[in-house]
Amino acid sequence: MTVQKVSFFNSRGLKIVGILDGEGDRCAIISSHFTGFKEVKHYFNLAKTLSDNGICALRFDFSDCIGESEGTCEEMSVTNQTNDIISAIDFLEEKGISKIGIIGHSLGGLVAINAAANDNRIKALVSAAAPAKLEWDTLFKEKEAQWKNDGYITFPSWKRGKIRINYGFYLDLKKLDATKLVQRIKAPILVIHPENDELVSIVNSQGIYENANDPKTFIVIKGSDHMFSKEEHESELIGLTLDWFKKWL
């Protein structure tokens, strides 16, 4: 299968760098987790599996400081990442790809839901371990007082070490509720949650699923942690995603 390093510009004029695996008129966009990037193992393996089965995959770095794309981590937000997804759809359409799906993991799942709620070009959706709203949050909410007081907060990241994110990230996140956004989505949605998720409680995925339109499916991956760290859990995530896109794209 072909593998291309690609680039396009988002609505803010920032260069987005990605990898397009495979070819054809069906393609899945991979929306990475908080501080994630395009080379993360399960995104790499997912892209290869999809492309080996006739569905191309676009994985890219969001417009922040984590990967190769332009942008700063201080200005990271779900809204900016959503706009990056919309620009990725524009890029794929320019290449003649009309059947577009999206899979989002963790915060990337909320980004994917927000994108699908605002762009009906997304024809199929997979949400994996996505947070639904701050009310159910376990990662950001406890930091809110310090975040507001200082105007920023530092977070650890896999690739860049400690990064600085402005309080605007939290205010932006506070406006988003996936249980409401998902009601606007007409695309078929598969909601996946790890049984032993230590970062995002299962109530988030349950709320997303309960408010989603049909067709929809909810699956819990038994024994998995938030990052689908074990090979069998990653393989199950990838297999479920492949089957969903083969059926609906």
Between 41-52 and 231-248, two packed helices, what is the crossing angle to 10 degrees?
Answer: 40
* Phi, psi dihedrals of residue 230, rounded to the nearest 5°: -75, 145
What integer pLDDT is reported at residue 3 of this predicted model?
96
Beta pairing partners, 152: 166
What's the per-residue H, E or C state across the chain? CCEEEEEEECCCCCEEEEEEECCCCEEEEEECCCCCCCCCHHHHHHHHHHHHCCCEEEEECCCCCCCCCCCCHHHCCHHHHHHHHHHHHHHHHHCCCCEEEEEEECHHHHHHHHHHHHCCCEEEEEEECCCCCHHHCCCCHHHHHHHHHHCEEEEEECCCEEEEEECHHHHHHHCCCHHHHHHHCCCCEEEEEECCCCCCCHHHHHHHHHHCCCCEEEEEECCCCCCCCCHHHHHHHHHHHHHHHHHHC
Q: Is the pLDDT of residue 86 over 80?
A: yes
What integer pLDDT is reported at residue 210 of this predicted model?
98
In 3D space, the residue among 202, 241, 208 whose CA is nearest the CA of residue 224 turns out to be 202
Over residues 17-75, the pLDDT tens digits come to 999 999 999 999 999 999 999 999 999 999 999 999 999 999 999 999 999 999 999 99
Residue 139: pLDDT band with limits 50, 70, 90: confident
What integer pLDDT is reported at residue 147 of this predicted model?
95
Between 78-94 and 107-118, two packed helices, what is the crossing angle to 10 degrees?
Answer: 60
Amino acid letter, residue 180: K
pLDDT cut 90: percent of the chain above it: 96
Mean pLDDT of the chain: 97
Q: Is the pLDDT of residue 141 over 90?
A: no
Determine the average pLDDT of the residues in 164-174: 96
What integer pLDDT is reported at residue 138 of this predicted model?
76
**49 and 238 Cβ atoms separated by less than 8 Å:** yes
Residue 187: CA count within 13 A, CB half-sphere: 31
Beta pairing partners, 218: 191
d(CA 156, CA 181): 29
In 3D space, the residue among 172, 156, 143, 144 whose CA is nearest the CA of residue 78 turns out to be 172
What integer pLDDT is reported at residue 158 of this predicted model?
83
Task: Please give the structure tokens belonging to residue 43.
Answer: 């995104």
Give the count of beta carbons closer than 10 Å to the beta carbon of residue 142: 10
Determine the average pLDDT of the residues in 107-134: 98
Q: What is the pTM of this model?
A: 0.97
Q: Is the pLDDT of residue 16 over 90?
A: yes
Determine the average pLDDT of the residues in 220-243: 98
Determine the average pLDDT of the residues in 67-96: 97
